[in-house]
Structure 1
Amino acid sequence: MRQNPSFAMTDVAELRRVIDENPWVTLVSHTDDGLVASHYAVLLDDTRDDLTIVGHVGKPDDLIHGLGERELLVVVQGPHGYISPGWYGDVAAVPTWNFVSVHLSGVPELLSTEENLAVLDRLVARFEGSMPQPRLLWERPNDADFVHRLEKGTVGFRLTPTRVVAKRKLSQNKPDDVVETIVTELDAGAAGYTDPRLAAEMRRAHDARKGRA
């Protein structure tokens, strides 16, 4: 991802927030057979306060990626969306795309069976927790044999990134009135392009730029 100093994200707390709010990621590896990519949910490692993430892949994706043997790129895609030139007012302009994205790179560590089970348990609890009647990993009708068979079909990993590239391109280079117009359009606006999550990220970025956040 090409970086622009004006759009760079470096604050660890903000990066953790973006990762936590956008857990469905893309895993990319460069193998002897070329590039491979997979898609899985990850979580921040709850024993750390840095950008370490934990997750799992289903077999044989571990072999396809050479998991634990080579560098893995994890692409975290935050809110993103189309920005119309009509929202800039009566000036020469072209369309663009606003977005938040975090790239984490490093060689992952493979988890033990016990660690992987703990991560699988956390993943289910995280996403099932808001359901009216949550079905957690170890609750009936699941039994221990079922859970252990499930775990054997997966490979858990922990990635502490050695390289981080993070970018939020959210019209920070535009005047305040233009930013407000874009936010309004994203909040309520044109058919097909309404995106309150992207509008919220724009507000956050521009408040931070002005020292109000």
Structure 2
Amino acid sequence: MRQNPSFTLADVTEMRRVIDANPWANIVSAGSDGLVASHYVVLLDETRDDLTVVGHVGRPDDLIHGMGERELLVVFQGPHGYVSPGWYGDVQAVPTWNYTAVHLSGVPEILSDEENLEVLDRLVRRFEERMPDPRLMWERPNDPAFVQRLAAGTVGFRLTPTRLVAKRKLSQNKPAETIEAVISALSEDGPYANRELAAEMRRAQDARTGASR
């Protein structure tokens, strides 16, 4: 991802927020047969306060990616959407796409079987606890043999990035009144209504201006 000083996201706390809120990630590597991409949930390592992440891949994706042997690129995509030039008013303009993204690169560490089970358990809890009747990994009707058998088909990893690029392209290069107009348009009903993107733009704009809401 090409970086642009106007859109650089350098705040680790903000990058962690984007990762935590958007855990469905793209995992990309370059092997002997060319580029390969997989799609998995990847979480922040809760034992760290940096950008270290943990996750798993199913076998044989570990072999396809050369897991633990070569560099991975893990891509997190935040809210994104179309921005119409009509929202800028009566000025020369072209359409664009606003977005937030965090790219983490590095050679991952392979987790032990025990660590992998802990990550899988946390993964299930992260999403299942929102259900009215959660089905957690170690609870009936699952039994330990069933869980162990499924876990054996996965390979857990921890990635502490050695390279990162984070970008928040949210109309920061536009006048304040234009930003407000785009936020308003995204917040209203219409073919490109996108309240999540509007909220992300509001967050970035308030951070720039020091406003609190």
> Equivalent residue of 1:69, what SS?
coil
1:132 matched residue in structure 2: 132
1:13-68 residue CA offsets vs partner (Å, 9 max, x unmatched): 00000000000000000101100000000110010000000000000000000000
2:207 matched residue in structure 1: 208
Give, in whole Å, the separation in 2 of the partners of 1:181 and 1:189.
14
1:143-196 residue CA offsets vs partner (Å, 9 max, x unmatched): 0000000110000000000011000000001111111111111111322x1111
1:95-174 matches, cutoff 5 A = 95-174=95-174
1:58 matched residue in structure 2: 58
> Equivalent residue of 1:174, what SS?
coil
> Equivalent residue of 1:10, what SS?
coil
Given residue 70 of structure 1, which amino acid in structure 2 is its aligned partner? R
Given residue 15 of structure 1, which amino acid in structure 2 is its aligned partner? M
Given residue 95 of structure 1, which amino acid in structure 2 is its aligned partner? P
2:81 matched residue in structure 1: 81
Give, in whole Å, the separation in 1 of the partners of 2:132 and 2:209.
41
Aligned-residue Cα RMSD (Å) equals 0.8
Give, in whole Å, the separation in 2 of the partners of 1:160 and 1:212.
33
1:93 matched residue in structure 2: 93
In the TM superposition, what is the alpha-carbon distance from 1:209 to its structure 2 partner? Answer: 1.2
Instruction: Provide the aligned length of Structure 1 versus Structure 2.
Output: 212
Q: Which runs of 5+ in 1 are unaligned?
A: none
Give, in whole Å, the separation in 2 of the partners of 1:54 and 1:44.
6
> Equivalent residue of 1:138, what SS?
coil
In the TM superposition, what is the alpha-carbon distance from 1:212 to its structure 2 partner? Answer: 2.9
Give, in whole Å, the separation in 1 of the partners of 2:81 and 2:206.
20
> Equivalent residue of 2:196, what SS?
helix
TM, length-normalised to structure 1: 0.98
1:8 matched residue in structure 2: 8
Q: Identity of paired residues, percent?
A: 72
> Equivalent residue of 2:27, what SS?
strand
Give, in whole Å, the separation in 2 of the partners of 1:187 and 1:39.
30
1:180 matched residue in structure 2: 180
1:20 matched residue in structure 2: 20
In the TM superposition, what is the alpha-carbon distance from 1:211 to its structure 2 partner? Answer: 2.5
TM, length-normalised to structure 2: 0.98
Superposed structure 1 runs of 4+ greater than 2 Å apart: none
Q: Which runs of 5+ in 2 are unaligned?
A: none
Given residue 126 of structure 1, which amino acid in structure 2 is its aligned partner? R
